[in-house]
Chain A
């Protein structure tokens, strides 16, 4: 469990803004902080990492107090078990990929974890290369691996994929999900990309002008909660085919593909890969016993 209460006056683009939040995050969750730029998202991550100090507040991670302004407790950044990936995280240019990972090891820490990460993140072919020769997507893959070398309790991702093209981004999202589960991390993702937030997170905190505007599961936060359809799922569009005056949209929901008829106007607003809510009234589906 991570308990976080932070208060600080910030200088935002439009003047002074007060960041005032109180959040509890269960261990093992992947939580997204979603909001416009300047809402205070990055400030929260930097305070968690110990790079920025609130005026008032407390950070307790798995019963360990990292920060308590009233008790003058403030753990140094290197004492906080955190992995941090930024949008433009700089790797050391004079070191190979492997050396970049080895450099992140703590004193006395075994290097097995480096091999494991190279394997999970499929960096074999890149390990001897220098960062300058890598694509943006490959660099972020290395940055993610490097953030995990110290085996942190908490992984902080600050718009890690925003500079990467769509296809590569989707792959990297899969890597994030994989390491999140594999290392049983608690991950906090800052993003303003709804599709990304939907794909990755199980809980969303919407931040507006330094305050929590709402929070909940992705479908609760993005429209689902306020729609009376009780037969409701989120999925990804696999294909859209025109059929006379209608379109047939195939949607992957979990491991099942369902088909939904939509009109031309609706189809124009949809494309393959979009995250969607499929909803119907509870009155429509039929149930048959099969076992």
Chain B
């Protein structure tokens, strides 16, 4: 599980759902949760939270242009690549924090990813969990 430390900057609620914005380094991440400030105390502006997401849910983009719906985009450097036959593990660095991405080896080859490359790590809003 990837864990980044952040601070809640905005909460938009509708019914039982909340869209939460979290400042992590220079980037604002978004998470959608089935909780509201009324049901969960931790949902308060200014509160520190951990942003959690699964390694297998981290999408990698290189030289991306055009539009993409993924709301959470972190510009990272590849520190290491460990290749298996089917799956590969990328160790990335964002804001001197470690993020791991597990993608197929086919995708690593297709994007010709190399150690030292700058890539965009992306996570869908509904894949981000929050914890305190």
Question: B85 in the interface, Cβ–Cβ < 8 Å?
Answer: yes
Q: Which residues of B contact A283 (CB under 8 A)?
A: 32, 126-127
Docked-complex contact A263 and B55, CB < 8 angstroms: yes
Question: B111 in the interface, Cβ–Cβ < 8 Å?
Answer: no
Q: A228-B129, A245-B84, A263-B100 are in contact. List 9 more A-B contacts (CB 8 A).
A: A245-B83, A245-B87, A263-B102, A264-B89, A281-B126, A281-B127, A281-B128, A283-B32, A283-B126
Could you tell me which residues of chain B, from 88 to 129, have a CB within 8 Å of some CB in chain A? 88-89, 100, 102, 126-129
Question: A266 in the interface, Cβ–Cβ < 8 Å?
Answer: yes
Task: Mark A116-145 against chain B: 1 for CB-CB distance below 8 A, else 0.
Answer: 000000000000000000000000000000
Known A-B contacts A244-B87, A263-B89, A266-B1; the reply to A228 vs B126 at CB < 8 A is no
Could you tell me which residues of chain B, from 39 to 66, have a CB within 8 Å of some CB in chain A? 40, 42, 52, 55-56
Question: A94 in the interface, Cβ–Cβ < 8 Å?
Answer: no
Q: Which residues of B contact A282 (CB under 8 A)?
A: 34
Docked-complex contact B82 and A245, CB < 8 angstroms: yes
Q: Which residues of B contact A244 (CB under 8 A)?
A: 84-87
Q: Which residues of B contact A279 (CB under 8 A)?
A: 129
Task: Spell out B's residues near A (CB within 8 Å).
Answer: 1, 31-35, 40, 42, 52, 55-56, 82-89, 100, 102, 126-132
Q: Which residues of A contact B131 (CB under 8 A)?
A: 223, 226-228
Which 9 residue pairs of A and B lie closest in terms of their CB atoms, listed nearest first? A244-B84, A283-B126, A245-B89, A227-B131, A228-B33, A226-B132, A228-B130, A245-B84, A229-B129
Question: A25 in the interface, Cβ–Cβ < 8 Å?
Answer: no
Question: A47 in the interface, Cβ–Cβ < 8 Å?
Answer: no
Question: A179 in the interface, Cβ–Cβ < 8 Å?
Answer: no
Q: Cα distance A185–B40 when bound, in Å?
A: 34
Task: Write the nearest CB–CB distance from B62 to chain A, whole angstroms.
Answer: 20
Could you tell me which residues of chain A, from 239 to 261, have a CB within 8 Å of some CB in chain B? 244-246, 261
Known A-B contacts A263-B102, A281-B126; the reply to A228 vs B84 at CB < 8 A is no
Q: Which residues of B contact A226 (CB under 8 A)?
A: 42, 131-132
Q: Cα distance A92–B1 when bound, in Å?
A: 53
Closest A residue by C-beta to B42: A226
